[in-house]
Amino acid sequence: MRRKSLILTFVIIIFSFAIVNRLFISRLPICGKLSSNTPSLSTLTWKDNHDELWKIPEWVERYNVTHLFDWTWHKNGDYKRCRPPIIRLPQTTTCSAGSTIVVNNALEFFRSHPEHGCVVDDIARLPNLIPHPLPRTRSLSDTCSELNIKRDWILCNKPQVELDRWLPTTTRLLTVAIFNAYVDTGHCHPDVPGTIFTEYATYHLQRWTNRWCNNDPIRQIPTIDAQNQHSELIDTIGNYLSAPGHFGPQQLPRLLRLLATAPTTAKVLVAKGGVADGLIDILVDRGVVTRDRIVPYEKQNSSYHYAHIVYRSEAWPYLNDASNSHYVHDRTDMQLVHRVLAADKQGSDTKRNLVILIKRKIGATRSIIEHSHIAVFIESALSKSKLANDLHLAIFEAHGHMREHIDLFRRARIIVGPHGAGMMNILWAPPGTHVVEVGYTDGMRFPDMYAEMSLHLDHHYWICKGYGNYAKPIHIDMEDFTFIFNEIIYEIENAK
């Protein structure tokens, strides 16, 4: 009875919010026409020498990722035409756009409406390995059942021969330029900012939230502070902003795609805080972006941004079916991130001599209660193996700068850890690394994100059974872990 009452209360609150929101927007004045002018190259800060401007960035060739882009508007000459036919200034008072549409298929829309924007890059995703690799376990069926993921993980419930078209379900990576556009602060979900909208259309290029408003138009046109008005702006922000499990595998690939294909004259809107700051430091160090282009976006002080041209990149096509919305952790994206931030450092002199055990803070969510037992077992198993002089245990507690994290994980031969932010660092581990993720049984479903990331990075990905709640410390099944670790040691010994 109490549960039904809570559900009813929740529904009433959501319905009331929707009504109030609609009433508020309906009371706003309709946006009027503002002064405009035909654009010039100087207005948009473009240079006369387009060969210099549109040259493939040097870092793209240096890190060997040229093949991960189509260079669409370079090949078809659209970079000469992709500019607003009319430059509009942002509205001076908050108003309602009135009649507006939702765009899901930007490829089709810009073919018929070139006055609103253009396609910058359109590339087919890298093909997955065939047959698509599966997670390794003592028994996949048993492990999937015990961790309650048999119905939810495609890796658990689809035939192996079908996995290629499911992980992901999208087929292309699309980068677009949208004219006279705003960047939203999270109209549907406060943790999912970044939607681009104009007075004519809202561009939902991918489904980033399952809330009822996920594909609604944005009709309220905000006023824009002067410091948030730009000529050109790269929009990279997305769900959960600087959270490690989301920035690294989801926003960072978008950022790299945009930095590779959009003009160097564009400012870059990027999440601030957490791992985002450290990774931006590294991109600056490695010549991928200059510090003066960065426009930090903070959730606590979120503001709308406006630009004459806003650039955005997403997986295509738009997936409306929530149960089939596998559009993240694409093999192309994972390879792009790894090559740019870690792969070039892995020369012949790099020693892959570490067994990295990820340790979450004692008492923290999903910290492994038997952590010390795992460490003792690993050291004992190594000392008894033929690898005693070749592999050494390292405990990772996320101290230091991201540079140190990358340097550590690129030396990994084996990585062991519970589901959580520390597992993001598998992005830096080279192909062939054994990755053991410890699952759990209760609370929020054990996500498959690190499984997909690891498999697309050509790791040997293992699931180890764990027990407990997502929001609390968990237990590891030591019998299961012992089997897995001994199997890994055996394989490494016999591969030498």
Q: How many CB atoms lie within 10 A of CB 49?
A: 9
pLDDT at 349: 63
**Predicted structure pTM score:** 0.91
Helix (H) or strand (E) holding 414: strand 412-418
Answer yes or no: are the C-beta atoms of 438 and 419 closer than 8 Å: yes
Q: CA 480, 486, 488 angle in degrees (round to 5)?
A: 105
Q: Whose CA is closest to 477, among 368, 355, 392?
A: 368
Give CA–CA dist 257/271, Å, rounded. 16
Q: What residues does 232 pair with on adjacent strands?
A: 309
Indicate the CATH number for domain 141-166+344-494. Answer: 3.40.50
How many C-beta neighbours within 10 Å does residue 489 have? 21
My answer on whether omega of the bond before 317 falls inside 30° of 0, hence cis, is yes
DSSP letters, 272-313, are: -SHHHHHHHHHHHHTTSS-GGGEEEE-STT---EEEEEEEEE
Q: Which H, E and C letters describe 86-154, residue by residue?
A: CEECCCCCCEECCCCEEECCHHHHHHHCCCCEEEEEEEECCCCCCCCCCCECCCHHHHHHHCCCCCCCH
Tens digits of residue pLDDT in 202-256: 999 999 998 999 999 999 999 999 999 999 999 999 999 999 889 999 999 999 9
Question: Nearest to residue 122, comparing CAs of 68, 56, 57, 173?
Answer: 173
Check if the beta carbon of residue 108 is closer than 8 Å to that of residue 158: no
Separation between Cα atoms, residue 146 and residue 141, nearest integer Å = 9
The amino acid at residue 212 is W
Rounded Cα gap, residues 397 and 459, in angstroms = 22
The span from the CA of 249 to the CA of 251, in Å, is 6
Residue 475, number of CB atoms within 10 A of its CB:
15
| Residues 337, 256: Cα–Cα separation, whole Å | 8
Bond from prior residue into 131 cis (ω within 30 degrees of 0): yes
Instruction: Yes or no: say if 116 and 178 are a contact pair by the CB < 8 Å rule.
Output: yes
List of residues 6+ apart from 240 with CB closer than 8 A: 191, 192, 246, 247
In DSSP terms, which residues pair with 203 in a beta bridge? Answer: 103, 196
Backbone angles phi, psi at 347, to 5 degrees: -85, -175
What whole-number distance in Å separates Cα of residue 150 and Cα of residue 143? 9
> For the packed helices 449-456 and 331-341, what is the interaxial angle rounded to 10 degrees?
70
What are 431's two structure tokens? 């192909």
Q: How far apart are CA 434 and CA 352, in angstroms?
A: 12
The position carrying tokens 């979900």 is 189
DSSP string, 416-436: EEESSGGGGGGGGSPTT-EEE
Q: Is the separation of the CB atoms in 427 and 457 below 8 Å?
A: yes
All structural domains of the chain with their residue ranges: 141-166+344-494, 173-329
- DSSP element (H, E) containing 177: strand 172-183
Q: Which residue has the tokens 């340790």?
A: 359
Residue 495 identity: A
| Residue ranges in the chain modelled with pLDDT below 50 | 1-4, 10-11, 13, 15, 17-20, 22-25, 38-52
- Contact predicate 267/229, CB 8 Å: no
